[in-house]
């Protein structure tokens, strides 16, 4: 019996769908960093927590900062309308984008809006949260029973 080299392996269907299955299972179904996630750096110093939130493409008026029930909520809304015209002034392409995103951080109930400083510059929202003095828990004091 003469054996011919085969262009297929032991199982034709595995060879046929092998690359597809391998690619399908080796990549996540979604990007590990969603496009609308606000990338945030938080640093601690002696007096405050410093937050830097990246909001590229947004303007100061697109961003809102809200403090409610101990949560600091950052929300941003962006509307963009682009139009291209040819030499005669006719529209050849028009694109619109509208999107919003938000993110919340639990900061505790001890803050008021006056405590928090925020500044928006070059697409980065900088927030300073002052450290609050830690309340000491008193040691139990016993009452004499007569």
User: Residue ranges per domain, the chain?
Assistant: 35-130
Express as a percent the part of the chain with pLDDT over 90.
Answer: 42
The predicted-structure confidence for 6-20, as pLDDT tens digits, reads as follows 555 555 555 555 555
CATH topology of domain 35-130: Immunoglobulin-like (2.60.40)
* pTM listed for this prediction: 0.61
Terminal Cα distance for the chain, rounded: 108
| Among candidate residues 69, 70, 129, 73, the one with its CA nearest the CA of residue 100 | 73
Q: In sequence order, what DSSP letters do the residues of 78-102 get, joined into one string?
A: EEEEEEEE-TTS-EEEEEEEEEEEE
- Token representation of residue 1: 């019996």
Q: Taking residues 100-126, what's their average pLDDT?
A: 93
| Among candidate residues 140, 71, 79, the one with its CA nearest the CA of residue 109 | 71
Give dist(CA 117, CA 130) in Å, integer. 9
Place of tokens 């595995």: 14
According to DSSP, the β-strands at 124-130 and 117-121 are antiparallel
The predicted-structure confidence for 13-55, as pLDDT tens digits, reads as follows 555 555 555 555 555 544 444 555 789 999 999 999 999 999 9
User: Phi and psi (nearest 5°) for 74?
Assistant: -110, 125
pLDDT of res. 26: 52
């Amino acid at each position: 019996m003469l054996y011919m080299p085969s262009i297929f392996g032991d199982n034709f269907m595995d060879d046929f769908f092998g690359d597809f299955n391998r690619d399908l299972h080796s990549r996540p179904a979604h990007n590990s960093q969603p496009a609308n996630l606000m990338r945030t750096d938080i640093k601690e110093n002696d007096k405050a927590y410093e937050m830097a939130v990246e909001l590229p493409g947004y303007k100061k008026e697109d961003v809102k900062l809200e403090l409610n029930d101990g949560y600091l909520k950052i929300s941003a809304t962006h509307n963009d309308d682009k139009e291209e015209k040819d030499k005669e002034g006719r529209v050849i392409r028009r694109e619109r984008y509208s999107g919003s995103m938000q993110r919340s951080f639990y900061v505790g109930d001890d803050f008021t809006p006056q405590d928090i400083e925020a500044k928006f510059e070059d697409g980065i929202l900088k927030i300073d949260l002052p450290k609050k003095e830690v309340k000491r828990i008193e040691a139990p004091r016993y009452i004499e029973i007569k």
